[in-house]
Amino acid sequence: MKTKNRIVVALATLILLATFVLLYAAETVAIVLKSTGSVSLMRGEKASSVKMDKGLRLQDGDKIVTGDKSFTAVRFVDDASTIRIRANSTCRIKAKKEKNEILKNVYLEVGALYAKVTQQRGKFEVSTPTSVASVKGTEWISEQKFEGMTLYHCLTGVIEVSNEVGTALARVGETVEVLSSGSAPVTRKTGEGEGIWSDGLGLEDNYEFEFENQSGEKKLLKFKVGEEK
């Protein structure tokens, strides 16, 4: 019996070690600022998931899934760009490092996310099954409905939304609506009750994050987040 218990413990230890290596071996492109409720991370082709806690390092290809009454906030390590993901959402982080910047694309499969792009160092896009939104120094909310329609609400700056059918711009107080991948994006005035974000995360923390650049040098990233949307 003792031998069996030791084998079980040894296997559990190996699994934990493998999970740790999997989570931290590859290049880090973003870090989790905060999470509440049921938020999980899926990495690679495996179906297993890891709970997303504060400080978890994210890599290219990571898939984030939020449950009921659950939210999370993520910051990219090359600049001050952040995203907040609402409950019942699924998205994937796509990021490619080039020199000192990261080319970012957040694929929103379903649900909603708030994005704020500041001190931008690389392309930042949010893509959905219907279209792609690209920006420079702005804030906006993306909503991908279960029924297939996508909405982009511009809060500051300008959003450019495009697909194979057409392109549309949205400025403050405007929304781009895309009915499907085969429909051209259309700009309209943001309706009453639209473009409002509330997640209750209350990000007011100091963060220190050590990472390695492409030259193998260790860098310490320090920043403070003190805003609430």
Q: Give me the pLDDT at residue 4, please.
A: 52
Identify which of 93, 105, 106, 120 has the alpha carbon closest to the alpha carbon of residue 27: 93
Q: Give me the pLDDT at residue 102, please.
A: 81
CB 137 within 8 A of CB 98: no
Beta-carbon contacts of residue 124 (< 8 Å; ≥ 6 apart): 81, 104, 105, 115, 117, 134, 135, 136
Q: Give me the pLDDT at residue 195, please.
A: 85
Residues of the chain scoring pLDDT < 50: 7-25, 203-206, 225-229
Q: Give me the pLDDT at residue 125, please.
A: 92
Query: What are the pLDDT digits (tens) for 35-60?
Result: 999 999 998 766 567 788 888 999 99
CA distances from 190 to 110, 186, 193 (A): 20, 12, 8
pTM here is 0.76
Q: Which domains does the chain have, with CATH numbers?
A: 27-227 (2.60.120.1440)
Q: Give me the pLDDT at residue 46, please.
A: 63
Angle at 132 between CA 181 and CA 159, to 5 degrees: 125
Beta bridge partners of 162: 132, 167
Q: Which two tokens stand for residue 129?
A: 């099954």
Q: Give me the pLDDT at residue 178, please.
A: 97
